[in-house]
Amino acid sequence: MELDSPEAIDRIASWLTSEFKADRIEVVQLEKLSGGAIQENWALQLDIKGGEREGGLDAVLRTDSPSGLAVSHSRAQEYELLSAAFENGVTVPEPLACCRKLSVIGKEFAIMRRMPGIGLGPKVARDPSLGGDREILAERLGQELAKIHQIGPETHQFDFLEPANTYDSLESFYRFLDDLDEPRSALEWGLRWLELNRLPKEKPVLAHHDFRTGNYMVDEKGLTCILDWEFAGWAEPHEDIGWFTAMCWRFGNRDLPAGGIGSREAFYRGYEHQSGRKIDHRRVYFWEIFAHIRWAVIAIQQGKRFRDDNEATLDIVLTGRRPAEIEYEILRMTMPGTGLVAAKH
């Protein structure tokens, strides 16, 4: 059923009434905020009568897109991860409820508190009036990432995650490359170079796996929340750090390594202070190269989608052409006869 049909709205209100132990709930507004290939976010404004949550509530309802590509975690699994992050003090939208029953709207959905701010990557990178002082923001983001990394397999169990001791990022990338079924010599070169320069594995932590500019929101004062937990999983902490500082995620601000918005020093300071550990600069270099390989594979997969129904958009076809610049950076970073260096630029 259409999410904003009277029937669906009724069912959601009904389900939430019992979830929140209220007397009655009125859906003041249900409006689509954004939608991707995998999930949709709807603004959900509620007026709650009775119970602990009595009053107005500005929330977001998150559910699957109609196409429902199962390439990331389910909404319920994502909710579990979000809840763990929230409990650990990470700045995320407060998780409020999660419906695992398909009987309400035909698919799982999660409700979280609506947070203010702008999340669009290019906009945040380009507009210095957003996010307050950028160095303070960079430091804060480092601190937040360190808090995420404080969640570990010793204290948390997520039965849907690939086990911490078996997951290997390089190995899975050889699989992804094979699945692409097209020869990519630059990516093969990059993966081989990484293989030759592997370091002993770090203890796995909960990695966000898409921690970058574009996946956090800011208002004019600073950070409002970190988003998109659909790819989180057990991995080495430096993998997340390298994804954040990778050149391909700086939105053209080549001299601002912290997500295209700030300095490495500020970002590292926030991370090191919160975690009590020093960042290994050579490991960051390793994972920045990996980040480029990963993003190239994703861009190639995106590009192939243009032949599917309703997917021939300019966004998709232009994303499909990004690998040239990404592979360029990989090749520049992996000169023959060189090894890992401290990530500096």
Partner 1 sequence: MKRDEPIGEDLLAVAADVLHREIVPTLTGDERLSVLMAVNAIETARRELENAPLLEKMEHTALSEIAGGGDSRGLCRAIRNGKFDMGDKAVALHGALLEHAVLRCRISNPKYLDAAEKDWESRLLL
Q: Which is nearer to partner 1, 45 or 301 (CB)?
A: 301
Interaction mask 247-266, partner 1, x per CB under 8 A: -----x-x------------
- Interface residues for partner 1 in 29-48 (CB under 8 A)? none
Tokens of 16: 């939430």
Tokens 């109609």 — which residue?
Answer: 66
Interaction mask 282-321, partner 1, x per CB under 8 A: --------------------------------xx-xx--x
Q: Which is nearer to partner 1, 53 or 305 (CB)?
A: 305
CA–CA dist 238, 232 (Å, integer): 14
Q: Comparing C-alpha atoms, which of 139, 176, 193, 198 is closest to residue 296?
A: 176
Using the rule CB under 8 A, is 183 a contact of partner 1? Answer: yes
Tokens of 201: 């594995």
Q: How far is the CB of 313 from partner 1 (least distance, A)?
A: 9
Using the rule CB under 8 A, is 336 a contact of partner 1? Answer: yes
Using the rule CB under 8 A, is 328 a contact of partner 1? Answer: yes
Task: Name which position in 184, 221, 281, 282 contacts partner 1 (CB under 8 A).
Answer: 184
User: Of 52-60, 155-163, 191-199, 232-240, which segment contacts partner 1 by CB under 8 A?
Assistant: 191-199
Task: Name which position in 176, 189, 231, 306 contacts partner 1 (CB under 8 A).
Answer: 189
Residue 38 phi, psi (nearest 5): -105, -45
CA–CA dist 191, 61 (Å, integer): 39
| 205-207 vs 109-113, strand pairing mode | unpaired
- Interface residues for partner 1 in 99-158 (CB under 8 A)? none
Q: How far is the CB of 254 from partner 1 (least distance, A)?
A: 5
CA–CA dist 235, 127 (Å, integer): 32
Task: Name which position in 103, 157, 185, 310 contacts partner 1 (CB under 8 A).
Answer: 185
Neighbouring C-beta atoms of residue 71, cutoff 10 Å: 9
Q: How far is the CB of 243 from partner 1 (least distance, A)?
A: 19
Q: Comparing C-alpha atoms, which of 267, 293, 298 is closest to residue 281?
A: 267
Task: Name which position in 107, 269, 304, 322 contacts partner 1 (CB under 8 A).
Answer: 322
- Interface residues for partner 1 in 208-237 (CB under 8 A)? none
Enclosing H/E stretch for 95 = strand 95-99
Task: Name which position in 292, 329, 340, 343 contacts partner 1 (CB under 8 A).
Answer: 329
Dihedral, 161, 205, 237, 169 alpha carbons, nearest 10: -30
Tokens of 292: 């480029």
Task: Name which position in 2, 102, 196, 307 contacts partner 1 (CB under 8 A).
Answer: 196
Task: Count residues binding partner 1 (CB under 8 A).
Answer: 30
Residue 55, strand partner residues: 48
Residue 64, strand partner residues: 39
Tokens of 148: 């995420």
Residue 46, strand partner residues: 27, 57
Which residues are near partner 1 by CB under 8 A? 174, 183-186, 188-189, 191-192, 196, 252, 254, 314-315, 317-318, 321-322, 324-325, 327-329, 331-332, 334-337, 345
